[in-house]
């Protein structure tokens, strides 16, 4: 049985200026110990997917799905029950997730206490301290005793993100959802934090959904990649295959946007035009697609299975939804 199964998940935000369909019929499953990357440009629905899975969507959002289960439990009615124990979310800006008025020790203790309360175990401060130090060591904080006594503003961005990972681990979740956790960091710190994620996921055999707009980052940590555009899955497959042989023109564009030392300076190819999904007939990517042809605007292409991959492009079968 898969850890997480999602079938036809759609999310709609109702705004003053109308409805925004942020996710459209997204389906996937996630196995234990697997890392799934969600990649796509700003507005493609990545955070909405993360929030829907962790039960953190705002109340006005309308969520629909044929099925959404975690460890076999239906999430649609019980989403509160999996938060913390089952699913933990790490956000892009760790400072906004930490309480600025509390020392790291107090915040880690709180996370450990939540877990103890849930398991109906008593909370012991000495043991919690030992565990907090071990957790900080696990995320490669070199001076854990010192960091415990600091406030969030006394930490660097990389240290804060590591503390957030430690807070997540304190609750022993089965699934970690990380929404752009390295975007705000410089490239060196980004590589270090990525390696911490990789290490804890491997050691604990944890599953992870790793969200990033950067395919190069995703390729370093994810087993599989889901490419989102306009809230729809455009391509999904194993990371190595998607990178080696991208089938959807959008994935191809994302790969072309990865800076490459061998490319001449200024030659960085990017996807033409701007991201928008309003007033488009057929394939949402068609106005920006270099291979657009007549059939692209006939209807929304079906997600076709091609060589163990899923691709939503009529080049792989002219069928529509």
Specify whether the CB–CB gap between 16 and 79 falls below 8 A: no
Cα 110 from chain centroid (whole Å):
25
Site for ligand ATP in 176-215 (CB under 6 A): 213
Q: DSSP assignment of 30-90, as one string?
A: E-TT-EEEEE--TTSSHHHHHHHHHT-S-TT-EEE-SEEEETTEEHHHHHHHHBTTTEEEE
DSSP strands (E only) in 239-308: 304-306
Q: Does 40 bind ligand ATP (CB under 6 A)?
A: yes
Among 30, 34, 39, 44, binds ligand ATP (CB under 6 A): 44
107 lies in the binding site for ligand ATP (CB under 6 A): no
CB of 13 to ligand ATP, least distance (A): 3
Which one of 1, 58, 267, 308 is in contact with ligand ATP (CB under 6 A)?
A: 58
Q: Which stretch binds Mg ion (CB under 5 A): 41-49, 79-87, 112-120, 218-226?
A: 41-49
* Pair 44, 275: CB distance under 8 Å: yes
Q: What is the CA radius of gyration of the chain?
A: 21
Q: Which does 43 bind (CB under 5 to 8 A by kind): Mg ion, ligand ATP, none?
A: ligand ATP
55 interacts with ligand ATP by CB under 6 A: no
Q: Which residues in 8-37 contact ligand ATP (CB under 6 A)? A: 13, 15, 20, 22
Burial class (CB in 10 A: 0-12, 13-18, 19+), 103: middle
The burial class, CB within 10 Å (0-12 / 13-18 / 19+), for 302 is: middle
Angle at 85 between CA 97 and CA 89, to 5 degrees: 30
96 interacts with ligand ATP by CB under 6 A: no
Regarding 275 and contact with ligand ATP (CB under 6 A), the answer is no
Q: Binding to ligand ATP by residue 45, rule CB under 6 A?
A: yes
CB of 119 to ligand ATP, least distance (A): 33
Q: Which of residues 109-168 bind Mg ion (CB under 5 A)?
A: none
Of the two residues 46 and 224, which places its CB atom closer to Mg ion in the complex?
A: 46
Residues 224 and 82: their CA atoms lie apart, in Å, by: 23
Based on the shown chain and the rule CB under 5 A, indicate whether residue 47 belongs to the binding site for Mg ion.
Answer: yes
**Angle, CA 101 vertex, CA 196 and CA 146 arms, to 5°:** 50
Is 277 an interacting residue with respect to Mg ion (CB under 5 A)? Answer: no
Rounded to the nearest angstrom, the gap between the alpha carbon of residue 80 and the centroid of all alpha carbons in its chain is 19
Binds 278: which of Mg ion, ligand ATP, none (CB < 5-8 Å by kind): none
Stretch that binds Mg ion, among 44-52, 124-132, 136-144, 286-294 (CB under 5 A): 44-52
- Please state the three-class secondary structure of 39-53 as a single string: ECCCCCCHHHHHHHH
- The residues of the shown chain that bind Mg ion, judged by CB under 5 A, are 46-47
Residues that bind ligand ATP (CB under 6 A): 13, 15, 20, 22, 40, 42-48, 58, 213
């Amino acid at each position: 049985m898969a850890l997480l199964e999602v079938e036809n998940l759609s999310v709609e935000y109702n705004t003053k200026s109308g409805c925004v369909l942020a996710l459209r019929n997204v389906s996937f499953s996630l196995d234990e110990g697997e890392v799934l990357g969600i990649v796509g440009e700003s507005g493609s629905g990545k955070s909405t997917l993360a929030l829907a899975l962790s039960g953190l969507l705002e109340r006005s959002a309308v969520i629909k799905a044929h099925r959404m289960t975690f460890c076999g439990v239906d999430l649609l009615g019980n989403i509160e029950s999996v938060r913390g124990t089952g699913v933990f979310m790490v956000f892009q800006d760790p400072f906004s997730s930490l309480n600025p008025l509390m020392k790291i020790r107090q915040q880690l203790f709180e996370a450990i206490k939540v877990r103890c309360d849930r398991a109906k175990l008593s909370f012991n401060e000495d043991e919690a301290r030992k565990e907090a130090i071990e957790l900080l060591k696990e995320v490669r904080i070199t001076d854990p005793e010192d960091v415990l006594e600091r406030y969030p503003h006394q930490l660097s961005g990389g240290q804060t993100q590591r503390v957030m990972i430690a807070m997540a681990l304190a609750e022993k979740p089965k699934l970690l959802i990380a929404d752009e956790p390295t975007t705000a960091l410089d490239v060196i710190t980004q590589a270090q934090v990525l390696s911490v994620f990789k290490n804890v996921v491997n050691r604990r055999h944890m599953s992870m959904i790793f969200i990033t707009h950067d395919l190069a980052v995703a390729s370093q940590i994810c087993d599989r990649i889901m490419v989102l555009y306009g809230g729809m899955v455009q391509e999904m497959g194993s990371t190595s295959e998607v990178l080696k042989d991208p089938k959807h023109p959008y994935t191809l564009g994302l790969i072309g946007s990865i800076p490459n030392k061998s490319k001449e300076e200024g030659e960085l190819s990017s996807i033409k035009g701007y991201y928008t999904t309003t007033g488009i007939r057929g394939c949402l990517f068609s106005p920006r697609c270099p291979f657009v042809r007549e059939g692209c605007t006939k209807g929304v292409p079906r997600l076709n299975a091609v060589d163990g991959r899923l691709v939503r492009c009529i080049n792989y079968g002219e069928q529509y939804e």
